[in-house]
Amino acid sequence: MKICVLPGDGIGPEVTEEAVKILAALGDFTFVYGDIGYDAYQQIGSSLPDETLQKIADADATLFGAVTTPPNIPNYESPILKLRQHFDLYVNLRPCKTLPIEISHEGIDMDIVRENTEGLYSRRERVEDNGDTAITERVITRKGSERIIRYAFELAKNNGRKTVTIVHKANVLRATCGLFREVALEVANDYPNIEMNEQIVDACAMQLIKNPGQFEVIVTTNLFGDILSDAASMLVGGLGVAYSGNIGEHAAVFEPVHGSAPKYVGTHNANPLATILAARLMLEHIGMDAEAKQLQTAIEQVLQDGNVTPDLGGSCTTQQVTEHILEALQ
């Protein structure tokens, strides 16, 4: 198996290095490294060079760390957005499950399925009126809605789930969320054994905190999914354990939900588990289910033993967490 590794900026290289050590212990992988992010932009003039795109295309799957996107550089765009659109990685799957640590709530087992190519991330922005009016277009298509909603229902079906919750704001965003909702009602007809619930996004944010155990699969548009998944991560341990898969028909990129956390660079406090859990999801995706299960068991062991970084209440360094996982794997 060939894995493309994109460490990126900030703590990206620190956490991907740990995940690579673990993958190397689990299988016979070839790792091909690629440049991405703001450091690459400064060094070689591109945040997402063509060679990197080729490496992703040639790999069985890609593991991505994180990138820094300074808000004040004109015309600089986050390469992860370009990458999601370039490979049409229309699914952003963000599982959120109870972990065996004290700060994690009990009884949580949900998959947040975030549309990953359109909505407010359609990259259609402009400034008018001599800079006094700024416009971002929110593009929702029938095709884009249908494929993500169908993915969510298939995921529910394959995992024996009883419900799918569609999250929108169709009461206000009548055109865009209205279309998303209309398509959801149609797709739901093809799954008579799965109940479709709907929630308006603000109420869903409240319900996530009030009664998170009610959710099995949530499917929503791009920005709502971005925000709800960061919030949901806090139910089970926070961004240090939140992971994701960007999945398309021809490529897949696995990454932690967190960013480059500049404050943590060099402190050895960055939690590598989000990236290691992303690697576990990647193993499942490439058909290495036995290794994925083995890794999950090892991670749970390490969590139970309290061998974790300070964000989870432990005193391990980034590297020590990996050492404990490698030990548990043996």
**Catalytic residue set:** 121, 169, 202, 226, 230
170, 202 contact by CB (below 8 A): no
- Tell me the two tokens of residue 66: 């994180």
Residue 68 binds to ligand NAD (criterion: CB under 6 A):
yes
Give the residue from 248, 295, 239 showing the smallest Cα distance to 61: 248
Q: How far is the CB of 227 from ligand IPM (least distance, A)?
A: 9
Question: In this chain, which of 47, 52, 62, 69 binds ligand NAD, going by CB under 6 A?
Answer: 69
Q: How far is the CB of 187 from ligand IPM (least distance, A)?
A: 24
Enumerate residues 223-242 that contact Mn ion by CB under 5 A: 226
Nearer to ligand NAD, 184 or 261 (CB): 261
Which of ligand IPM, ligand NAD, Mn ion, none is residue 46 near (CB under 5 to 8 Å by kind)?
Answer: none
Enumerate residues 220-239 that contact ligand IPM by CB under 6 A: 226
Nearer to ligand IPM, 78 or 267 (CB): 78
Question: In Å, how far are 48, 73, 169, 187, 276 from 9, measured between CA atoms?
Answer: 12, 16, 34, 40, 17
Q: At residue 46, what is the residue type?
A: S
Q: What angle do CA 17, 286, 109 make, to 5 degrees?
A: 85
Which of ligand IPM, ligand NAD, Mn ion, none is residue 81 near (CB under 5 to 8 Å by kind)?
Answer: ligand IPM
Cα dihedral 86/75/222/254 (nearest 10): 50
Q: How far is the CB of 38 from Mn ion (least distance, A)?
A: 17
Which of Mn ion, ligand NAD, ligand IPM, none is residue 271 near (CB under 5 to 8 Å by kind)?
Answer: ligand NAD
Query: What's phi and psi for 162, nearest 5 deg?
Result: -100, -20
Q: What angle do CA 70, 76, 82 make, to 5 degrees?
A: 110
Q: How far apart are CA 275 and CA 254, in angstroms?
A: 8
Enumerate residues 231-270 that contact ligand NAD by CB under 6 A: 239-240, 255, 258-261, 263, 270
Residue 252 binds to ligand IPM (criterion: CB under 6 A):
no
By rule CB under 6 A, what count of residues binds ligand NAD?
19
Exposure letters 163-183 (e unless 16+ CB within 10 A, then b): ebbbbbbbeebeebbbbbbeb
Determine the longest span between alpha carbons in the chain, in angstroms.
Answer: 64
Residue 277 binds to ligand NAD (criterion: CB under 6 A):
no
Question: In this chain, which of 80, 167, 219, 279 binds ligand IPM, going by CB under 6 A?
Answer: 80
Q: How far apart are CA 142 and CA 71, in angstroms?
A: 32
Q: Which residue is nearest to Mn ion (CB)?
A: 226
By rule CB under 6 A, what count of residues binds ligand IPM?
6
Q: In residues, how long is the chain?
A: 330
Question: In this chain, which of 257, 283, 299, 312 binds ligand IPM, going by CB under 6 A?
Answer: 257
Only one residue has tokens 């229902």, namely 153
Residue 92 binds to ligand NAD (criterion: CB under 6 A):
no
Nearer to Mn ion, 120 or 156 (CB): 120
Residue 321 binds to ligand IPM (criterion: CB under 6 A):
no
Residue 111 binds to Mn ion (criterion: CB under 5 A):
no
Binding site for ligand NAD (CB under 6 A): 11, 15, 66-69, 80, 239-240, 255, 258-261, 263, 270-271, 274, 311
Binding site for ligand IPM (CB under 6 A): 78, 80-81, 226, 257, 259
